[in-house]
Amino acid sequence: MRLFLQLGRRISKVLFTASLREQAPFPVQTLSNINHTRTLSDQPHHKSLNMADTEQSGTPVNTDEATTHTPSHQPTTSTGNEETSTASSSLPPLSPTEFKIYNRLAEQMQYFHNHFVGMWTTLYTACVNSRRPANMSLKQFLDEGLRLVRYLESHHTIEETHLYPILARKMPQFRAGKSNKLLRQHELIHEGMDQLQEYILKCKSREVDLELSVLKEKMDTWGEVLMKHLDDEVKELEAETMRKYWTLDEMRAIPI
């Protein structure tokens, strides 16, 4: 069964599209595909897997079994760091094709993140230089700030609702809980975004005049955690990490 779900809203030049190729094992949506001036190339076909048959222990798998549907997880008494280090050192090098499959989620996530960084940079550079971009009116500049907030909110919602639960089946770093670093970063980012959005809305309604020094203060409260989160998330999805937990067929089946 194939289900294509499109989540779209064209604002300025930015188009959000979420497309889903759904197989029975994955009743989920994909991450939003943000497109400014170009579209992503066609994604690899996602094979259907019965993920219910795979174990959810979070124990790394051996790439030698990468073409099987169900990896064989061996019990271990090692600590997480020892386990990961041992598994990593024992894995053979990936072929270019295997690397591309295992690194797919990291590349897609980096693509999304690059757009967020670009929008952030536009706003923050204006604050540092104490002037808006020459090609932006006040309204356009404020709208850019609101777009950044909305896009991050949408991106995080889709991650937490659809992508993280899939990855959490085998990867402890994506499981819900107070110890989840990525989710805690989401919380801190949203606290800062709320303050930024409140200030921009006041500027749009002319309740207050835009002061770039104040806007910078609103961005400084969460800028560092945002950039760290964008880097941390991609790192957790890179090929050398993903291969420890997933087979090639499972990677092809994860929708994004």
Condensed to tens digits (0 to 9), the pLDDT of residues 141-156 reads: 999 999 999 999 999 9
**Number of H helices and number of E strands within the chain?**
9, 3
Residues 6+ apart with CB under 8 A from 150: none
Q: Is the pLDDT of residue 165 over 50?
A: yes
Amino acid letter, residue 213: S
* DSSP H or E stretch at residue 222: helix 212-236
pLDDT of residue 88: 55
87 domain-assigned: yes
Residues 6+ apart with CB under 8 A from 204: 139, 142, 146
Q: Is the pLDDT of residue 75 over 80?
A: no
Bigger pLDDT: 42 vs 133 = 133
Q: Are 91 and 66 in contact (CB under 8 A)?
A: no
Confidence of residue 178 (pLDDT cuts 50, 70, 90): confident
1 domain-assigned: no
Confidence of residue 256 (pLDDT cuts 50, 70, 90): confident
Q: Are 54 and 169 in contact (CB under 8 A)?
A: yes
Confidence of residue 89 (pLDDT cuts 50, 70, 90): low
Domain that holds residue 18: 9-253
2 domain-assigned: no
How many domains, the chain? 1
